[in-house]
Structure 1
Amino acid sequence: MGVAGLAYAMVSEPQVKDTAKAQNNVYFWDDNTQMVATGGEVNRQIIGYEQIPAAMRNAVISAENKSFEHDRGIDPMGIARALYNMASGGETQGGSTITQQYVKNSRLSQEQTLSRKFEELFITLKVANKMDKKKIITDYLNISYYGRGASGIQAAARTYYGKDAKELNPSECAFLATLLKGATYYDPAGAPEYDKAQATAAKNTARAEKRWKWILDEEVKDKRLSPTERAKYTKFPTPDTPKKNAQLGGQTGYLVDLAKSYAVNNVKGMTVDKLAQGGYEIHTTFNEKKVKELNAAVKKVYDNKIDSKKRPGTDTHVQFGGGSVDPATGAIVAIYGGQDATKHYTNNADPTGAQVGSTFKPFVLAAAMEYGKRDPSLGADQDLSQREKVSPLSIYNADDKLKIKNYDGQIWTDENGKEWLQTNDGHESRGNITLREAMQWSANSPYVQLGMDVGTDKVKDVAIAAGLKDDENMADSHVPSFSIGTSSPSAIRMAGAYATFAASGQQREPYSVTEVKHEGKSVYRHKDVTKRAFGTDIADNVTDVLKNVVEKGTGTPAQLPGRDVAGKTGTTDDNKSAWFVGYTPQLSTAISMYRMDDDANNKHRKFEKMFGTGGEEKIHGASFPAQIWHDYMAEAMQGKPVLTFPTPEPIGEKVYGGGAQSPKPSPTAVESPSPSASATESPSMSPSPPVPGPSDSCSAWDWNCQNDNGGTNSGAANGGADGGPSTNPSTTPSPPGGSNGNGNGANGGFVGGPAG
């Protein structure tokens, strides 16, 4: 009792003015020069009790603390639970009464420790004994953080509804009261940069509407709102669209959001509220020069090719996304999130729902080399000793409308018993070709059948090992089209996964923050964690095959004379998205392109076809995405040492699939892969049609060149990849798991949890 009395006497009451010391957060480029100071600026205007509408006070009391007007400021049972949980190492808890929350929010120190809770308890008791309830509720509403940088009810009213607090109606007050549960999860605008799985706009809106309705109903129960008045508010009071700080225009806002997201999800003890209070130095991995170069490469396409006035039916809503990762570290050196972060709020470098198409095929090839083709005479689950590892020189049938089979030779059928006929671009048949050639020309049927022979579950395992996430962006792996890119990972993730190939199989998690300091003290430093995704022989063989794609196949527009480049094009269903992902030994970059209405208020927006966009008959990965990739990488690699990819070791056996049979006598093709291997490395059971190659008459990146640079990607029916999964509309229904994603930004941010 003596200690308690002394503690009670020594603690001081909180002061509102002390909580108004929020500072800016300063973000730095990778060379430690300042990028921008933002995010902690004080957006608070203190107002008096009379200026706070009674409806706001009533909403908060009914929702947070029904006994507020006559209690002693603490909830003994709640305190006991919180202390027990912390003492036993359980989950920390906050104050349960308005007075306790006021005390907690009044303190700049937000650490969840037993000593702090103990001290806070005595402050609460002193506040309850000495402060008038009107003063407590006034200060509480003036101090509380409502999201979007708004501290206090007046700032919140202006931020969400563009009006003074005294003008708020009971419905708007009920919504603002929901934000006190945590704006990250209750702001209808969403906060996917902090939690990509749960803080989406759709989920936040649903939560906010449910709690808003509950608060109004509770007010009626508490006789703080009449049933007649309650009946007026049946429609959710949707707040205004968030407004961005002008200094966060261009790419800066996307960079800041990415770094904020990383900090909140990786710095121990970091919260959105703490970051909003400011005082942090956040040192990022972003290279100012490369960010500007990537932005310039995209702008060049917009300026020279995209004309919404001239072609309103095809050139509106055109979006690009980009991510560039250092394979040696995993550092994200540059992104392209959109034309302007203050106008286009979704970061296009994060998941957008745009499927990656044939850029997924390298994971199929890697899985074939890692796990091998299954023995058709054995069960579906086979260990490595029962499988036959696959060489890139293996022969597969590349005919159009190839009838896809299970690994055991049985015709694959969907749940309705319908067969799967796999198409290629332009319904082109190439007969029996090597997997190397199939990648070179982006033929679909060989890789769909290869995925079935190996197992699409193994393809998924390899994609995840390379750096993709097993989340809502990963498509259904139980259908054949999975192997040709029905998944929709972000540009950052794709760049990171290809960086694993560039690093000879060493996977490093992409990251955007190297160090965080608070008031000069370091509170976080990035630690490099390297995982072996797959063997060097596998990674280097994939690189060699992708190098051939750039040298002789669909990826020729990405060539950087004098440098080794490996990459892959990708185009999807109905020409709704196009990608180019490629790398040099020092840098991996992914570029995406799609069309989607930028107006988030349009509830029915969807991916739009790109036939005719930019004056092109059809958009391929080899067109604008590859051109952007080339222009950016040509600048980004200037002054860098000229390095070559490792020479791959021979791997696997030459197997035959998709109906291709080993000729008699056995072929004598060279087994060792080589960077100089030709497109006719293997004999064919049937003659292949002439292979259209890129024209030598004009440069692949000449803006005025009208030549079609050899792209063989085509739209994929039902959300597939180049050429599409099934193309027998009369007999084959749309497979599950092949939709075009769930809308721009709906999948949230790149960093949704701790790295690794």
Structure 2
Amino acid sequence: MGRAEERRARQRGGRRAAPPTRSSGTPSEGIAPGGRAAARKAAARGKKSTKKGKSGIRRLFTWKKILGAFLGFCLLGIGAFIVMYMMIDVPKGNAAAQKQSNIYEYSDGSVMARVGDTNREIVDLAEVPKSVQRTFVAAENKSFYTDSGVDLKGTARGLLNTLSGKGKQGGSTITQQYVKNFYLDQDQTVSRKLRELVISLKVDRTTSKDDILAGYINTSYYGRGAYGIQAAAQDYYRVDAKKLSVAQGAYLAALLQAPSQYDWAVASKTGKELVTARWNYVLDNMVEQGWLSKAERDDMTFPVPKEPKAAPGLEGQKGYLVKLANQQLEKQLVKTQGITQDEAEARVENSGWTITLNIEKKKQVQLEKAVKTQLISKLDPKKRSVDKNVQAGAVSVDPKTGKIVALYGGQDYTKHFISNANRTDYQPASTFKPVILAAALEDAAETQGGKAIGANTIYDGTSKRQVVDSNGDKVGFAPENEDDHDYGKQVTVQTAMNQSINSVFAQMGVDVGMDKVLETATKLGMDTGKLRPLPAYTLGTMGASPIQMAGVYATLDNHGKQVTPTIIKSAEQGGTETRMPDPIGEQVISREAADTVTSVLTGVVADGTAKVSVAENPARDGRKVAGKTGTSDDNLSAWFNGFTPDLVTSVGLFGEDAKTGAQTKMYKTAGLPRVNGGGFPAQIWAAYTFGVAAENSKFDLDTDQGAAVQPTWTPSPTPTRSETPSPSATTKKPSETPSATPTTSAPVTPTTSAPVTPTTSAPTTPDESTTSPANPFDPNGDQ
């Protein structure tokens, strides 16, 4: 056999024969016929079996089944919507009849005011200029004239927000808002939103766009108790709706987003910025839609509204009390029910609420009397023009409960719409200094020389002293003490608080860190969210209201537990009570820090700027008192924030031009050189507090520092500066006997060296890094 044939024979035999089966012997042994083919088949069967096992779940969720389920769900939803569409009819609209009086009661349940006449006058759309009509469309719903009455995306988003507890976040068309105002209510529930959707579709099919727009602008709430565009035009611009300009219409359209917040007469700086931005947005949208020319748009200026007119029956202080109660209730509804500010206002205004206030009749009457006898009776606008520009505001709080028991918002709500009790556009001045000390104590801050800051720490009281940072570099801030008075290079923090020495607290603020100072201010109840940590704020140059400052001092009086003043005792509507937040919060600063500040503040009364008006007041009758005076630059504001163990009251006086509302100086008020915190504010405070505060109450202080447990000590004799114009204001008198006994331990007496008795000569400047001050109470003081 040739080689070729032999090769072919082998090849034929290889195809026929099964591959040899391998064994532990030689490689050529143990190959059974057909072994390889059988092995391949077995392997294939194994793979199929494995694949079958893995694809079991996949067969249950194939894309066809998922698509089928989705389509089925959609069909089910469509079917349900069709059924709902057929079952839900458009109800009779009677929004005006649904408005009810709100009843406001004193804390004892007696009726204070009944507010309920709905301020509304329906006008035909033809009476509203076409250009003004379009401002509302530009503001709320640019596609109004072409849409089907609903925004499906917005509604879906609203439903999801409701289900997730986030509340409404926009998305309603003008038709939907009209349906909500006229046919439904403001409740944020899934069922209400679905009804709104169905009714809006039906209304859009059966009602003309003009009629829908007319219904919308006639039923919307514009603030100031005004429902509808006619009432709003009268309240804000003293004209009928038919005489509104485009600029004025754009403001009213912008106003609907947040009526109270955007009311120019009472809006904060932020509120004015927001409504101005929205006014511009409305006009820009009109240009975009071709409803207003660019030239006309560019020529428009913001139309500042007129001052509001108070509703009848809200004269005197009643209007201020009702207004604050409404504001606090609206805030709670926004927070708990997820509705917008404008919806909350609409739900509160004339909606059948019975609101019981924390206001106590006796205290309210006493506060009003104190302002009248101590201030108003001494003003003579005919004799001195400045006297008509002085505004008073006051808030009195129970520090244990957070209840606002008395409030003074101005001479008369019908004459001065802005409440001076919660306006935040004036500086609290030196009444901010206790916050700086609280921050220092809470953070265990140290001076530049590494000494702990406390009541007896030594600082430089030189007027216009340059403030330096931790590196000893000047920070570019050198505040002047009042009247440019120098108190020497060695004064204790206690003396600095008594005499309100700016140079000391400016340096202390930098020592502590202004970021930490502002953080502490926020914890105590001030609104410092947008403030930068600048040294200038140590002088209290931010804005604050009496209600905020009452909260700060009430938190100190409450041993560091946060107090948020509240005027509402209960709020009930239709048998359902709305739960208000607890005015008493968590421990925001330590008890020791709060009590130490309180102890120091007793020295302001006993031996400082409030001595004449408060400590020496014959009606005091032994009551323990702490407090702080404050007078801002240019005499624009003056304050006294004071407290007894059971009552905290903040009193502020504000210079406000009677015609323009601009801030103005109060020099020469009542014939005096200027208005100081130790003058009228402290006198009002004393006349009120000593008539209603508990007698024989004592501060329960957990501290061994401050004037309440140690007599005030000053290294070198300096004149006591009283802020009350008085012949005795410059006479130095000894400090009062300590007004309380410390509850923890006796004052610490230094053991490192013998006390050094102050001399009449000016002390030499110590070296911060090496020299201990001659202080008989604290060897760790510093300049």
Question: What's the TM-score bracket when you normalise by the shorter of the two chains?
Answer: 0.7 to 0.9
Partners of 1:674 and 1:143 lie apart in 2 by 61
Q: Which residue of 1 aligns with 2:379?
A: 306
Structure-2 change in CA distance of 1:708 and 1:24 (3 Å):
farther
SS of the residue corresponding to residue 246 of structure 1 reads coil
Q: Which residue of 1 aligns with 2:485?
A: 427
What's the CA shift for 1:630?
0.6
Match of residue 644, structure 1, among 682, 693, 698: 698
8 Å CA contact 1:102–1:139 kept in 2: the answer is yes
Letter in 2 for 1:477: P
8 Å CA contact 1:358–1:570 kept in 2: the answer is yes
8 Å CA contact 2:287–2:294 kept in 1: the answer is no
Letter in 2 for 1:351: R
Q: Which residue of 1 aligns with 2:358?
A: 285
Partners of 2:545 and 2:632 lie apart in 1 by 15
Partners of 1:232 and 1:199 lie apart in 2 by 23
Letter in 1 for 2:88: V
Structure-2 change in CA distance of 1:111 and 1:134 (3 Å):
same
Q: Which residue of 2 aligns with 1:131?
A: 207
What's the CA shift for 1:22?
0.7
Alignment of 1:19-98 (within 5 A): 19-38=96-115, 40-48=116-124, 50-61=126-137, 64-65=140-141, 68=144, 71-86=147-162, 92-93=168-169, 96-98=172-174
Partners of 2:721 and 2:248 lie apart in 1 by 62
Q: Summarize deviations over 1:298-320 as a string: whole Å, max 9, x none.
A: 122334422222222x4341122
Q: Summarize deviations over 1:400-429 as a string: whole Å, max 9, x none.
A: 443433345x14232xxxx73654545233
What's the CA shift for 1:709?
3.8
Is it true that 1:213 corresponds to 2:276 in the alignment? no
Q: Which residue of 2 aligns with 1:468?
A: 526
What's the CA shift for 1:346?
1.9
Partners of 2:490 and 2:139 lie apart in 1 by 69
Q: Summarize deviations over 1:132-175 as a string: whole Å, max 9, x none.
A: 44543443333233333222333334333444444555555454
Number of residue pairs matched?
643
* TM-score where L is the length of structure 2: 0.74
What's the CA shift for 1:266?
1.6
Q: Which residue of 2 aligns with 1:342?
A: 414
SS of the residue corresponding to residue 537 of structure 2 reads helix
8 Å CA contact 2:120–2:231 kept in 1: the answer is yes
Q: Which residue of 1 aligns with 2:440?
A: 368
Q: Which residue of 1 aligns with 2:368?
A: 295
Partners of 2:309 and 2:638 lie apart in 1 by 31
What's the CA shift for 1:336?
1.7
Structure-2 change in CA distance of 1:434 and 1:207 (3 Å):
same
Partners of 2:302 and 2:636 lie apart in 1 by 34
8 Å CA contact 2:460–2:490 kept in 1: the answer is yes
What's the CA shift for 1:19?
4.7
Structure-2 change in CA distance of 1:103 and 1:532 (3 Å):
same
What's the CA shift for 1:245?
0.8
Q: Summarize deviations over 1:430-474 as a string: whole Å, max 9, x none.
A: 4523322232233333333333333333333333333323235x5
Letter in 1 for 2:183: R
Greater mean alpha carbon deviation, residues 245-254 or residues 392-401 = 392-401
Partners of 1:356 and 1:228 lie apart in 2 by 45
Partners of 1:34 and 1:649 lie apart in 2 by 44
Structure-2 change in CA distance of 1:711 and 1:335 (3 Å):
farther
Partners of 1:363 and 1:343 lie apart in 2 by 35
Q: Which residue of 2 aligns with 1:549?
A: 604
Letter in 2 for 1:243: K
Greater mean alpha carbon deviation, residues 123-132 or residues 259-268 = 123-132
Alignment of 1:396-415 (within 5 A): 396-408=459-471, 410-414=472-476
* TM-score where L is the length of structure 1: 0.77
8 Å CA contact 2:138–2:285 kept in 1: the answer is yes
What's the CA shift for 1:71?
4.7
Letter in 2 for 1:489: A
Partners of 2:271 and 2:731 lie apart in 1 by 39
Report the structure, 1 or 2, having the larger helix content.
2
SS of the residue corresponding to residue 569 of structure 2 reads strand
Partners of 2:84 and 2:255 lie apart in 1 by 33
Q: Summarize deviations over 1:66-96 as a string: whole Å, max 9, x none.
A: 5555654334444444445545665535564
Q: Summarize deviations over 1:533-559 as a string: whole Å, max 9, x none.
A: 333332222222221221222211113
Letter in 2 for 1:531: E
Letter in 2 for 1:258: L
Alignment of 1:463-542 (within 5 A): 463-472=521-530, 476-479=532-535, 481-542=536-597
Partners of 2:169 and 2:511 lie apart in 1 by 52
Partners of 2:551 and 2:262 lie apart in 1 by 32
Match of residue 236, structure 2, among 160, 166, 175: 160
Q: Summarize deviations over 1:541-596 as a string: whole Å, max 9, x none.
A: 22222212212222111132211111122223233322111100000111112312
Letter in 2 for 1:12: D
Partners of 2:375 and 2:488 lie apart in 1 by 36
8 Å CA contact 2:354–2:572 kept in 1: the answer is yes
Partners of 2:312 and 2:167 lie apart in 1 by 39
The root-mean-square deviation of aligned C-alpha atoms, in Å, is 3.3
SS of the residue corresponding to residue 286 of structure 1 reads coil
Is it true that 1:627 corresponds to 2:683 in the alignment? yes
8 Å CA contact 2:321–2:407 kept in 1: the answer is yes
Q: Summarize deviations over 1:204-224 as a string: whole Å, max 9, x none.
A: 24432x1452354356x26xx
Greater mean alpha carbon deviation, residues 239-248 or residues 588-597 = 239-248
8 Å CA contact 2:287–2:297 kept in 1: the answer is no
8 Å CA contact 1:552–1:693 kept in 2: the answer is no
Q: Summarize deviations over 1:96-116 as a string: whole Å, max 9, x none.
A: 433323222223422222222
8 Å CA contact 1:372–1:388 kept in 2: the answer is no
Match of residue 328, structure 2, among 235, 247, 262: 262
SS of the residue corresponding to residue 635 of structure 1 reads helix
Q: Summarize deviations over 1:317-356 as a string: whole Å, max 9, x none.
A: 1122212111101112222221112222222112343222
8 Å CA contact 2:94–2:183 kept in 1: the answer is no
Q: Which residue of 1 aligns with 2:636?
A: 576
8 Å CA contact 1:544–1:648 kept in 2: the answer is no
Structure-2 change in CA distance of 1:471 and 1:285 (3 Å):
farther
Letter in 2 for 1:245: A
Is it true that 1:562 corresponds to 2:622 in the alignment? yes
What's the CA shift for 1:627?
0.7
Letter in 2 for 1:25: N
Q: Which residue of 2 aligns with 1:204?
A: 275
8 Å CA contact 1:305–1:615 kept in 2: the answer is no
SS of the residue corresponding to residue 387 of structure 2 reads coil
Structure-2 change in CA distance of 1:189 and 1:213 (3 Å):
farther
SS of the residue corresponding to residue 606 of structure 1 reads coil
Partners of 1:692 and 1:59 lie apart in 2 by 62
Letter in 2 for 1:32: G
Structure-2 change in CA distance of 1:436 and 1:275 (3 Å):
same
Match of residue 456, structure 1, among 494, 507, 514: 514
Greater mean alpha carbon deviation, residues 51-60 or residues 18-27 = 51-60
Partners of 1:153 and 1:541 lie apart in 2 by 56
Q: Which residue of 2 aligns with 1:6?
A: 83
Q: Which residue of 2 aligns with 1:250?
A: 316
Structure-2 change in CA distance of 1:84 and 1:242 (3 Å):
same
Greater mean alpha carbon deviation, residues 81-90 or residues 515-524 = 81-90
Partners of 1:84 and 1:536 lie apart in 2 by 45
What's the CA shift for 1:47?
3.9
Structure-2 change in CA distance of 1:127 and 1:629 (3 Å):
same
8 Å CA contact 1:401–1:424 kept in 2: the answer is no
Greater mean alpha carbon deviation, residues 27-36 or residues 396-405 = 396-405
SS of the residue corresponding to residue 448 of structure 1 reads helix
SS of the residue corresponding to residue 606 of structure 2 reads helix
8 Å CA contact 2:601–2:707 kept in 1: the answer is no
Partners of 1:336 and 1:454 lie apart in 2 by 35
Partners of 2:261 and 2:709 lie apart in 1 by 54
Q: Which residue of 2 aligns with 1:351?
A: 423
Q: Which residue of 1 aligns with 2:189?
A: 113
